[in-house]
Structure 1
Amino acid sequence: MGPLQLALLLLSASTCLALLRVPLQRRRSIRSQLRADGALDDFLREHRPDAFSRRYAHCFPAGTPSLRLGRSSEKLYNFMDAQYFGQISLGSPEQNFSVVFDTGSADLWVPSSYCVSQACAVHKRFRAFESSSYLHDGRTFGIHYGSGHLLGVMARDTLKVGDVSVLNQEFGESVYEPGSTFVVARFDGVLGLAYPPLAEILGNPVFDSMMAQTSLDQPVFSFYLSRKAGGNIDVDGELLLGGTDEALYDGPITWLPVTAKGYWQIRMDSVSVQGIKTFCPRGCAAIVDTGTSLIAGPTNHILGLQQLIGATPTSIGEFFIDCARMSSLPRVTFVLGGVEFTLTADQYVRKEMLGDKELCLSGFMAVDIVTPQGPLWILGDVFLTKFYSIFDRGNDRVGLALARHPANS
Structure 2
Amino acid sequence: MVLSSSLSHLALLVSLSANNVLAAPRPSSPMSLSMNLKRRVPEARSADDISAWAANNKLALEAKYGNTKSIAKRSSGQNLIVNQKADSSFFGSLAVGTPPVAYDVILDTGSADLWLASSDCADSACDGVPTFKASDSSTFQNKSTEFSITYGSGAAAGSLGEDVVQMAGFSVSNQIFGVCDQVTDNLLNSPVSGLLGLAFQTIASSGASPLWQTLASSNAWDQPLMAFQLTRYNNDSKATDLEPGGTFTMGATNTSLYTGDIDYNDIPDNDESYWLQTVSSITSQANSISISSGSSALAAIDTGTTLIGGPADAVAEIYSNIPDAEAGTGQLEGYYIYPCSTTVNVTMAFGGKSWAISNADFQAEQLNSNTCMGAFFSLETGSNAPAWIVGDTFLKNVYSVFRYNPASVGFAQLSSEALAMNGVNGASTPSATIGSAAATVSATAGTRDANSAVALFHSSPSTTGPIISLLAITMTMFISLRLV
Cα offsets for 1:181-203 (capped at 9, x unmatched): 22557632111111110111122
Change (3 A) 1:191 1:26: farther
Deviations 1:171-219 (A, max 9, x none): 11111112x3225576321111111101111221101222355432221
Q: Distance in 1 between matches of 2:339 and 2:259?
A: 32
Q: Within 5 A, what are the aligned runs for 1:14-53?
A: 23=35, 25=37, 27=39, 36=45, 40=49, 44=53, 48=56, 53=58
**Is 1:246 paired with 2:266?**
no
Q: Name 1:215's counterpart in structure 2.
A: 220
The alpha carbon displacement at 1:271 in A equals 1.5
SS of 2:126's equivalent? helix
Task: Deviation per CA, 1:311-337: give whole Å up to 9, x if none.
Answer: 4525332644433x13xx341121222
Identify which range, 292-301 or 303-312, moves more after superposition.
303-312
Contact 1:134 1:157 in 2 (8 A): yes
The 5-angstrom pairing of residues 155-304 of structure 1 reads 155-178=161-184, 180-182=185-187, 184=189, 187-228=192-233, 235-259=244-268, 260-280=271-291, 282=293, 284-304=297-317
Q: Which has the higher contact order (CA 8 A, sep 6+)?
A: 2
Q: Deviations over 1:10-53 (max 9, x none)?
A: xxxxxxxx866675846459xx66x64999379659x84xxx64
Contact 2:62 2:379 in 1 (8 A): no
TM-score calculated relative to the size of structure 2: 0.66
Please give the TM-score of this superposition, normalised by the length of structure 1: 0.77
**1:353 Cα deviation (Å)?**
10
Tell me how far apart the structure 2 counterparts of residues 24 and 316 of structure 1 sit (CA, whole Å).
37
Residue aligning to 2:355: 341
* 3-state SS of paired residue (1:188): strand
Whether 1:111 and 2:96 are equivalent positions in the alignment is: no
CA deviation digits over 1:362-404, x for unaligned, max 9? 22222212556x9611221010001100111021111101122
1:367 equivalent to 2:346? Answer: no
- Structure 1 gaps, min length 5: 1-17, 61-66, 69-80
5 Å-filtered alignment, 1:6-17, equals none
- Residue of structure 2 equivalent to 1:380: 391
Given that 2:246 and 2:421 are in contact with CA atoms closer than 8 Å, whether structure 1 keeps it comes out as: no
Kept in 2: contact 1:25–1:86 (CA 8 A): no
State how many pairs are aligned.
359
2:450 corresponding residue in structure 1: none
The letter of the residue matching 2:360 is D
- 1:206 & 1:375 partners in 2: Cα distance? 24
Deviations along 1:194-246, one digit per CA (max 9) or x if unpaired, are 11101111221101222355432221110010112769xx9312110001011
Structure 2 contact 311–380 (Cα < 8 Å) conserved: yes
Q: How does 1:142-161 map to 2 (within 5 A)?
A: 142-161=148-167
Inter-partner Cα distance in structure 2 for 1:257 and 1:386: 20
Q: After TM superposition, where is structure 1 displaced by more than 6 Å over at least 4 residues in a row?
A: none
Higher strand content, 1 or 2:
1
Q: Measured at CA, do residues 341 and 280 of structure 1 come closer, stay the same or move farther in structure 2, by a change above 3 Å?
A: same
Do the aligned partners of residues 270 and 281 (structure 1) sit closer, same or farther apart at CA in structure 2, a change above 3 Å counting?
Answer: farther
In structure 2, distance between residues paired with 1:144 and 1:117: 16
Instruction: Give the deviation of 1:150 after TM superposition.
Output: 1.7
Provide the rounded CA distance (Å) in 1 between the counterparts of 2:331 and 2:121: 32
C-alpha distance in structure 2 between counterparts of 1:123 and 1:368, whole Å = 33
